[in-house]
Amino acid sequence: MTTITIASEGSVSRASAEPGGENLWLAPPVLRASTGWALEPAGLCRGPVCVPIPPGRQTEFVRADGAVNLAALARHRGQAAVHDDEGRVWVFGAPAEARAANRPSLEAPDFTLPDLDGRPHSLTDARGRKVVLIAWASW
């Protein structure tokens, strides 16, 4: 087992897990303590939300020793997942239903940034006009 950092849905925790390729296996007590998810007869549950394990895919989600594949759950829920094996960090994005809830407005949040001369520009300054937003990151 390896101690890893898991960032998911607004929380960050450290957990003993067994990463392997694109899979992240956690013992049931560790899964519950670090994410709130638990293996129940109805599937993988957190509070009132249960995600049934798809028929014929049981071994993708749960091993014979009872370990649960958190990465398989994330993929099934439509969450983006990235991991850094060297840094032992796994990050899971928002599930598909949460992203869909934010889509109806298609409105970007307002922000203000300086141009190369230091003059501030806000997104709301362009209200009513077409704007192209370009995001760039060095990583």
- Based on the structure, what is the number of domains in the chain? 1
In a domain, 25, yes or no: yes
Confidence (pLDDT) at 97: 75
In a domain, 77, yes or no: yes
- Per-residue pLDDT band for 69 (boundaries 50, 70, 90) equals very high
Confidence (pLDDT) at 40: 96
In a domain, 90, yes or no: yes
Strand pairing class (89-92; 2-8):
parallel
Domain of residue 46: give its range: 2-101
C-alpha dihedral (136, 97, 102, 104), degrees to nearest 10:
120
What is the model's pTM? 0.70
pLDDT at 106 over 70: no
Confidence (pLDDT) at 93: 87
pLDDT at 105 over 70: no
Rounded to an integer, the average pLDDT of 115-135 is: 87
In a domain, 18, yes or no: yes
Q: Mean pLDDT score of the chain, rounded to an integer?
A: 89
Confidence (pLDDT) at 50: 96
In a domain, 23, yes or no: yes
Confidence (pLDDT) at 11: 86
Q: Which of 26-35, 86-95, 113-122 has the highest mean pLDDT?
A: 26-35
In a domain, 63, yes or no: yes
* DSSP secondary structure, 14-32, as one string: EEEEEEETTEEEE-HHHHH
Q: What is the pLDDT of residues 81-103, one digit of tens each?
A: 899 988 899 999 888 777 676 66
In a domain, 121, yes or no: no
In a domain, 65, yes or no: yes
Q: What is the pLDDT of residues 39-48, one digit of tens each?
A: 999 999 999 9
